[in-house]
Amino acid sequence: MDNSGNDLEKTRKEELKMINERYKAMLQGKNIIRVLSEYANERGREIGYENVFDFSLGNPSVPCTDDYTNAAIKLLSEGDPMAVHGYSPSLGIESVRKTVADSLNRRFDMDYEAKHIFMTSGAAGAIAHAARCVTKPGDEVLTFAPFFPEYTPYINDTGAVLKVVPANTRDFQINFEAFEEMLNENVAAVLINTPNNPSGIAYSTATIEKLADILYAKQGEFGHDIFLISDEPYREIVFKGADHPYVTKFYDNSLSCYSFSKSLSLPGERIGYVAANPRCRDAGIISAICGQISRGIGHNCPSSSVQLAVAEVIDQTSDLSVYETNMNLLYDALTRIGFEVVKPGGTFYIFPKALEEDAKAFCMKAKEYDLILVPADNFGCPGYFRMAYCIDTEKVKRAIPVLERFAKEVYGVGE
Amino acid sequence: MDNSGNDLEKTRKEELKMINERYKAMLQGKNIIRVLSEYANERGREIGYENVFDFSLGNPSVPCTDDYTNAAIKLLSEGDPMAVHGYSPSLGIESVRKTVADSLNRRFDMDYEAKHIFMTSGAAGAIAHAARCVTKPGDEVLTFAPFFPEYTPYINDTGAVLKVVPANTRDFQINFEAFEEMLNENVAAVLINTPNNPSGIAYSTATIEKLADILYAKQGEFGHDIFLISDEPYREIVFKGADHPYVTKFYDNSLSCYSFSKSLSLPGERIGYVAANPRCRDAGIISAICGQISRGIGHNCPSSSVQLAVAEVIDQTSDLSVYETNMNLLYDALTRIGFEVVKPGGTFYIFPKALEEDAKAFCMKAKEYDLILVPADNFGCPGYFRMAYCIDTEKVKRAIPVLERFAKEVYGVGE
């Protein structure tokens, strides 16, 4: 009996099924951070969570402020439910946009108006909108290693192409030599993240000035705009002595992408914004263009009640001091043990060089000590690893002797 | 002095500016519903809101339930803020997905599991994800006139192409003759909306059965899946005597797109879901594929606190009885006056034929009587108009003599 006809038919049908194969294929690409975090939870169930030193996830470890909670409760208990839960304009609630603009003006001496602010589902939504706004399919977007791996889908799903400028591992400021080589006339936008996930480094005033100078020069040379998309979810988590300027002040064609996830510890609420520099091209209609983009991706707007509650505490942050305490403990310990590491200027990440060339192998060995560390291959910086220290200080303290033991026993490093 | 070189240079630079011109061009296309609604507000400021009969906007006119408000307050006041506001998995909070599945199983005798549910930013987010999930660029998606105009960006921004099957104006069930002509092998999905915005009609069991039969036959003929995307934000607003089956029961390859905007009067909270039929192709991974799509469009998930609060009142609706009261008043009045109109089976819309061929001209003339009616050209059904009766019953009653006067004075229709 000849089955080849049936097989052929079956293959043909398999080819013709209609589930989008591109997205389906993405399911294969496991997110290493999630995999490690799930391992940490599983291991915790086995040996007790207190015994697993989980540095995998960038999840705030301090609660939102009582003022936020009280404002949200007041809206629900005293507000008109038709207003609190009613349709928000797709650009965001007008009064909230005004509150955001006023706050930025107060804090950074800017001149935003409500029309420059577009409310989004966190920084992810902000970047996805900003990128669609200033690129078209085929354009290049440059970012700098080390970089947040989700930039790849954020940018590539717009039809533009993300290209990664290699890291400057000396101080994790920008590698300008490589940048200038890659900055060709197909580049429509440059995407930066400062303070940076995963390096923890804040770009200095000198770095931002030099970046702006280059972009201005190349805009003239190429005869078209190059937008600077500045991803700033860690803007409020800056440590003593760090030089961390407000990026938008330095470059006209800039879009600032913000999230309240880290500053107010509201990651699940998905609330943030795009703030268009009042001096950028089409500044007055950037928000409206973002609104048109929303129509096509079904975003519409963040929760109306969350918009209103955040506006009530616009200048507040959670108590973020634990992150600096943890950073200092870890930086001192890592340096003492013998790791090569640049001192973070902000965020809740630190980014040491692994003790062997293969950071994945290094992190797998650390797992044996119940130290959950993330290799930085996916961050575009092989040989390094990320520690997210948004955990209790007590646990950071207990992790240090384990790190010491690991470095000494496996690599013979340390006293 | 020759300026032509400068002009050329200027033109070239204009062409080369980098704001996405496609989205910018969309700004020109004014949304007629918004324009009319803004006019109604402006006119209200002039002559008093009580004197403007605004039937333009499909915005719920009843508040959410007290149980919803109390559940949300309890979460905020007694819940752990780290859990209430913490990251939701991108597919939705597991317990919420389970609650949704259990509710659908109870109510519609289905066998959903949590894995079949993907939490979204309302029905808009649900449709945008579902469409990306089962189409690829270039595929056709068929929908039926009259249809919600936002389907055009929801579908066309995926890269697929929305094609509209002409209306069956006799009873606003499906025009099967036109449908079968248009159902070619490039069709990857069919998008329906029942009860329907703007017609108010619920598709009968016979309609859904016939639709399913045709789709099953064509799947066999074409050798590929055809998905049925069912947009169901008005599922709970169904009037006495209406035959309104649960679509998913009739067709395996179906994705149900739901929103709590209308049923719980939470349109600003942007909360809904995709429920994948457990018997559809790749049923077990549809949610995960939606999660991958989310990565690229920056959606991530609806607000965590809203997800949790909705789950507490999953089987509730607001008091929706006012919509049926208003519908009966309007249907009786319109019929008595002499309008051609099909009695709605649900929603808060009614869809009469205009008293002249040009429904736009008809609605402009109605404006002179402070009757704000929406012409249906954008809904794919010229010659008809939509009235959204999600307003106070008292105002509906006062609008009726005005409608009578308008029909009589302008068109000589009525006693």
Residue B33 pLDDT more than 80?
yes
Q: Which of A66, A85, A289 to mutate to test the interface with B (most CBs of B within 10 A)?
A: A85
The pLDDT assigned to B1 comes to: 38
Residues paired with B384 in a beta bridge: B353
Q: Which of A62, A120, A295 to mutate to test the interface with B (most CBs of B within 10 A)?
A: A295
pLDDT above 90 as % of chain B: 86
The pLDDT assigned to B271 comes to: 96
The pLDDT assigned to B24 comes to: 84
B-chain residues near A59 (CB < 8 A): 86-87
The whole-number average pLDDT for the span B102-116 is 98
The pLDDT assigned to A17 comes to: 66
CB within 8 Å: B20 and A132: yes
Rg over alpha carbons for chain A, rounded to the nearest Å, is: 23
The whole-number average pLDDT for the span B218-234 is 97
User: What CATH number has the domain spanning B83-312?
Assistant: 3.40.640.10
| Chain A residues 240-299 with CB within 8 Å of chain B | 265-271, 281-282, 285-286, 288-289, 292-293, 295-299
Q: What would the pLDDT profile of A312-350 be if each residue is shown by its tens digit?
A: 999 999 999 999 999 999 999 999 999 999 999 999 999
Domain residue spans in chain A? 4-62+319-411, 66-312
Phi, psi of A151 (to 5 degrees): -60, -30
Sign, Cα dihedral of A70, A76, A79, A84: positive
Residue B4 pLDDT more than 70?
no
A-chain residues near B127 (CB < 8 A): 298
Whether A76 contacts chain B with CB within 8 A: yes
The whole-number average pLDDT for the span B246-269 is 97
The pLDDT assigned to B2 comes to: 42
Other Cβ atoms less than 10 A from the Cβ of B79: the count is 14
C-alpha distances out from residue A229 to A256, A296, A390, Å? 6, 21, 26
Mean pLDDT, chain B, whole residue set: 93
Cβ neighbors of A133 (< 8 A, separation 6 or more) are: A255, A274, A286, A289, A290, A293, B19, B20, B23
Q: Indicate the residue of A18, A124, A189 with minimum beta-carbon distance to B134.
A: A18
User: What CATH number has the domain spanning A66-312?
Assistant: 3.40.640.10
Please state the three-class secondary structure of chain B as a single string: CCCHHHHHHHHHHHHHCCCCHHHHHHCCCCCHHHHHHHHHHHHHHHHCHHHCEECCCCCCCCCCCHHHHHHHHHHHHHCCHHHHCCCCCCCCCHHHHHHHHHHHHHHHCCCCCHHHEEEECHHHHHHHHHHHHHCCCCCEEEEECCCCCCHHHHHHCCCCEEEEECCCCCCCCCCHHHHHHHCCCCEEEEEEECCCCCCCCCCCHHHHHHHHHHHHHHHHHHCCCCEEEEECCCCCCECCCCCCCCHHHHCCCEEEEEECCCCCCCHHHCCEEEEECCCCCCHHHHHHHHHHHHHHHCCCCCCHHHHHHHHHCCCCCCCCHHHHHHHHHHHHHHHHHCCCCCCCCECCEECCECCCCCHHHHHHHHHCCCEECEECHHHCCCCEEEEECCCCHHHHHHHHHHHHHHHHHHHCCCC
Q: What would the pLDDT profile of B70-93 be if each residue is shown by its tens digit?
A: 999 999 999 999 999 998 888 999
The pLDDT assigned to A156 comes to: 92
CA–CA gap between residue B213 and residue B252 (Å, rounded): 11
| CATH architecture entry for A4-62+319-411 | Alpha-Beta Complex (3.90)
Question: Mutual orientation of helices B393-411 and B321-337 as an angle, nearest 10°?
Answer: 20
A-chain residues near B82 (CB < 8 A): 60-61, 63, 265
Q: What would the pLDDT profile of A354-397 be if each residue is shown by its tens digit?
A: 999 999 999 999 999 999 999 999 999 999 999 999 999 999 99
* Structure-block tokens of residue A224: 């078209």
B-chain residues near A282 (CB < 8 A): 19, 24
Q: Indicate the residue of A69, A150, A298 with minimum beta-carbon distance to B125.
A: A298
**Which homologous superfamily does the CATH classification assign to the domain defined by B30-59+320-409?**
Aspartate Aminotransferase, domain 1 (3.90.1150.10)
DSSP per residue, A338-376: T---PPPSBTTEE-PBPSSS-HHHHHHHHHTTTEE-EES
Q: What would the pLDDT profile of B394-410 be if each residue is shown by its tens digit?
A: 999 999 999 999 999 99
Q: Which of B297, B299, B306, B391 to mutate to test the interface with A (most CBs of A within 10 A)?
A: B297
Residue B346 pLDDT more than 70?
yes
pLDDT-based confidence at residue B16 (cuts at 50, 70, 90) = low
pLDDT-based confidence at residue B13 (cuts at 50, 70, 90) = very low
Q: What would the pLDDT profile of B285-318 be if each residue is shown by its tens digit?
A: 999 999 999 888 877 789 999 999 999 999 999 9
Distance from CA of A158 to the nearest CA of B (A): 8
The pLDDT assigned to A9 comes to: 47
Q: What would the pLDDT profile of A173-198 be if each residue is shown by its tens digit?
A: 999 999 999 999 999 999 999 999 99
B-chain residues near A288 (CB < 8 A): 27
Helix (H, G, I), strand (E, B) or coil at A233: coil
Residue A83 pLDDT more than 70?
yes
Fold agreement between B30-59+320-409 and B83-312: no
Sign, Cα dihedral of A175, A176, A177, A181: positive
CB within 8 Å: A270 and B19: no
Q: What would the pLDDT profile of A126-164 be if each residue is shown by its tens digit?
A: 999 999 999 999 999 999 999 999 999 999 989 999 999
| Chain B residues 357-396 with CB within 8 Å of chain A | none
The pLDDT assigned to B17 comes to: 66
CA–CA gap between residue A213 and residue A16 (Å, rounded): 51
The pLDDT assigned to A79 comes to: 97
Sheet arrangement for strand A272-276: A117-120, A272-276, A254-259, A227-231, A187-193, A140-144, A161-165
Checking ipTM against 0.85, whether it exceeds it is: yes
What is the chain B residue with the closest CA to A78?
A: B69
